[in-house]
Amino acid sequence: MSDSDTSIHARSERFLSMLRHCQVLGLRVEHADRQGLTLRLPYSDQLVGNPDTGVIHGGAITTLMDTTCGISTACVLPEFEICPTLDLRIDYMHPAEPHKDVFGFAECYRVTPTVIFTRGVAYQTSRDEPIAHVVGAFMRMGKAGRVMDAGTRDGGQGA
């Protein structure tokens, strides 16, 4: 890894360490560089949603994907910056297989001074066989992120 990638990795871990319900899920940074972020959700009996099938409950995967998109903003920002979620969409393609970890990958496909658009997948074996697709937009809170004065309109967002 280049120095820059090391720093992206370190910032991603810092982000993740702040989110306690993510730690409970066991989320960890698998890989992070300028091209994107991969988080791992380790399989655990405690995450099983359906005892008959042993499949991880969907909420854990939603949290994985939300977190992956949110932290992937660290891949394109020069320094640590909290970027609140503006919107998030997840579409589940296939059920996850039981007894296997789930990975979340996300990249920033459009970076404007005020909003970052991210996109990614949840997968187990390969990104080409996604369990779920995800798209999310995040607000930059730096100087450029300040919204226009638009009456009662409010450009910021929930942390």
Q: Which of the residues 26 through 55 are near its own copies (CB under 8 A)?
A: 34, 46-50, 53, 55
Q: Compare residues 5 and 92 and give the one whose CB is closer to its own copies.
A: 92
CB of residue 153 vs its own copies: minimum separation in angstroms?
6
For 35-157, where are the alpha helices, taking DSSP H only? Answer: 58-72
Does 143 help bind its own copies (rule: CB under 8 A)? no
φ and ψ of 41, to 5 deg: -110, 105
Does 100 help bind its own copies (rule: CB under 8 A)? no
Distance between start and end Cα atoms, the chain? 30
CB of residue 31 vs its own copies: minimum separation in angstroms?
18
In whole angstroms, what is the distance from residue 138 CA to residue 119 CA? 11
Considering only residues 79 through 98, tell me which ones interact with its own copies, judged by CB under 8 A.
82, 84-96
φ and ψ of 143, to 5 deg: -50, -50
8 A C-beta contact, residue 104 and residue 72: no
CB of residue 60 vs its own copies: minimum separation in angstroms?
7
